[in-house]
């Protein structure tokens, strides 16, 4: 690479830092390393119901960045850090990143500013954050921002994996950075700590078992077999990141009290009111009904019977998905108020799936009573 390219690259990196990125590196606009594993994951159905990952046009774009920006030569990979700072509050848990402004909105103006500079320099530019068909983790690793951990996320020695990634594609010819060595070594902490055993192998995630998928992307009922394993997680999950030695003892994600009272508040809002109230935060992605579904599961798992009156109220919610999970949670809590409400609801409930949940919840209570634990 000539010195003109080196000067141009240094300038572009300085601009990236000036507009607010914590890290920046450059990778060639080429097929990401181990693309075959990505295709194998799709073939094995490890993307669960995220069919957009398997759409032929997006697979082609993930393989070849020039499909997104014809003439693309370089990828500018950027990261913003978001290490949690406070210990988690009691109650349902939200992933650390969900407690601040949606990172997509936070990053968009910075990415646009960087792209505008690239255009001013005579290149084409296009940016993506998260939703675009770009293998952000693989390219960021190639650009030297960190290495891919066994938990499939990008991490480095300074920040662990507490960062969000984005990519700016450009036709400018920039100097690529050197990748970092894999520093996972013989460690397997993230694989062992996963509450749902979602890792089929190191570097291989079975998304359909991951709580992040189940609480954010999945639209239907939480699979019954994974509900207890979901523990307190109501939106996303930080376990595999938090147990990593490179996270340097950061707490298991702070929720700054946001989740406390969230279920109460949601119970009193309709979908439109919810969207209005939580606009600009990531919490709107699963919609009100999905978030309440998750909160019911978390409240059931937390075992605090003070949640019973709220769950009884949710047995009357307009959404069958919410009623079904409120029934499950009441059955799991096993309290008298819940039992009476479940029996009442069985007399009026018309949705077949919800009836099944109520019957299962009452059955579980009978079993608990027989064992003397109710």
Which residues are designated catalytic?
A: 130
Q: Are strands 199-201 and 204-205 parallel, antiparallel or unpaired?
A: antiparallel
Compute the Cα dihedral for 72, 76, 77, 82 and give only its sign.
Answer: negative
What is the smallest separation between the CB atom of 281 and ligand B12, expressed in angstroms?
Answer: 14
Q: Which of 126, 164, 209, 332 binds ligand B12 (CB under 6 A)?
A: 164
Instruction: Rule CB under 6 A: say whether 99 interacts with ligand B12.
Output: no
Instruction: Rule CB under 6 A: say whether 95 interacts with ligand B12.
Output: yes
Q: Give the integer Cα–Cα distance in Å for 367 and 374.
A: 9
Instruction: Rule CB under 6 A: say whether 151 interacts with ligand B12.
Output: yes
What is the smallest separation between the CB atom of 240 and ligand SF4, expressed in angstroms?
Answer: 3
Q: Give the integer Cα–Cα distance in Å for 182 and 148.
A: 7
Q: Are strands 233-235 and 93-94 parallel, antiparallel or unpaired?
A: parallel
Instruction: Rule CB under 6 A: say whether 212 interacts with ligand B12.
Output: yes
Q: What residues does 26 pair with on adjacent strands? A: 76
Q: Which tokens is 302 given? A: 């937390």
Stretch that binds ligand B12, among 113-121, 201-209, 255-263, 346-354 (CB under 6 A): 201-209
DSSP 182-198: P--TT--HHHHH-TT--
| Residues in contact with ligand SF4 by the rule CB under 6 A | 149-151, 155, 184, 187-190, 194-196, 198, 205, 210-212, 237, 239-240, 243-246
What is the smallest separation between the CB atom of 102 and ligand B12, expressed in angstroms?
Answer: 12
| Three-class DSSP category at 25 | strand
Q: Phi and psi of 164, rounded to 5°?
A: -110, 150
Nearest CB to ligand SF4, comparing residues 29 and 216: 216
What is the smallest separation between the CB atom of 63 and ligand SF4, expressed in angstroms?
Answer: 25
Query: What angle (nearest 5°) sits at the alpha carbon of residue 158, between those of residues 78 and 3?
Result: 50
Instruction: Rule CB under 6 A: say whether 23 interacts with ligand B12.
Output: no
Q: What residues does 80 pair with on adjacent strands? A: 164
310 sits in the region (left: phi over 0; alpha: psi -120 to 50; else beta) called: alpha
Instruction: Rule CB under 6 A: say whether 130 interacts with ligand B12.
Output: yes
Residue number of the CB closest to ligand SF4 reads: 149
Instruction: Rule CB under 6 A: say whether 153 interacts with ligand B12.
Output: yes
Size of the residue set binding ligand B12 (CB under 6 A):
40
Q: By CB under 6 A, name the binding residues for ligand B12.
A: 32-35, 37-38, 41, 50, 53, 95, 97, 129-130, 134-138, 148, 151-154, 161, 163-166, 203, 205, 207, 210, 212-213, 217, 236-238, 240-241
């Amino acid at each position: 690479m000539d010195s003109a390219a080196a000067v141009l690259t240094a300038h572009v990196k300085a601009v990236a830092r000036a507009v607010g990125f914590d890290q920046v590196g450059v990778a060639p606009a080429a097929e990401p390393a181990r693309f075959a594993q990505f295709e194998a994951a799709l073939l094995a159905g490890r993307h669960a119901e995220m069919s957009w990952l398997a759409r032929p046009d997006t697979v082609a774009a993930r393989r070849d960045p020039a499909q997104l920006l014809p003439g693309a030569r370089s990828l500018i990979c950027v990261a913003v850090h978001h290490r949690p700072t406070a210990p988690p509050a009691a109650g349902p848990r939200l992933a650390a990143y969900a407690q601040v402004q949606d990172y997509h909105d936070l990053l968009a103006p910075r990415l646009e500013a960087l792209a505008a500079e690239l255009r001013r320099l005579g290149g084409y530019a296009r940016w993506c954050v998260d939703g675009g068909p770009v293998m952000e983790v693989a390219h960021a690793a190639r650009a030297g921002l960190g290495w891919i951990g066994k938990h499939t996320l990008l991490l480095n020695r300074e920040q662990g994996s507490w960062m969000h990634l984005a990519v700016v594609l450009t036709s400018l010819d920039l100097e690529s950075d050197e990748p970092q060595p894999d520093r996972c070594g013989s460690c397997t902490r993230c694989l062992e700590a996963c509450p749902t055993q979602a890792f089929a192998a190191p570097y291989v995630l079975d998304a359909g078992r991951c709580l992040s998928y189940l609480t954010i992307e999945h639209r239907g009922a939480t699979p019954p077999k994974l509900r207890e394993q979901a523990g307190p997680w109501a939106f996303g999950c930080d376990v595999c990141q938090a147990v990593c030695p490179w996270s340097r003892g950061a707490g298991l994600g702070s929720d700054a009290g946001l989740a406390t009272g969230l279920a109460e508040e949601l119970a009193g809002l309709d979908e439109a009111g919810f969207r209005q109230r939580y606009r600009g935060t990531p919490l709107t992605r699963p919609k009100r009904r999905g978030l309440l579904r998750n909160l019911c599961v978390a409240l059931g798992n937390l075992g605090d019977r003070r949640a019973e009156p709220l769950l009884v109220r949710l047995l009357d919610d307009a959404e069958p998905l919410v009623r079904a999970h409120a029934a499950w949670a009441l059955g799991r809590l096993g309290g008298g108020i819940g039992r009476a409400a479940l029996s009442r609801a069985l007399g009026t409930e018309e949705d077949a799936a919800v009836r099944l949940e109520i019957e299962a919840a009452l059955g579980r209570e009978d079993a608990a009573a027989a064992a003397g634990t109710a």
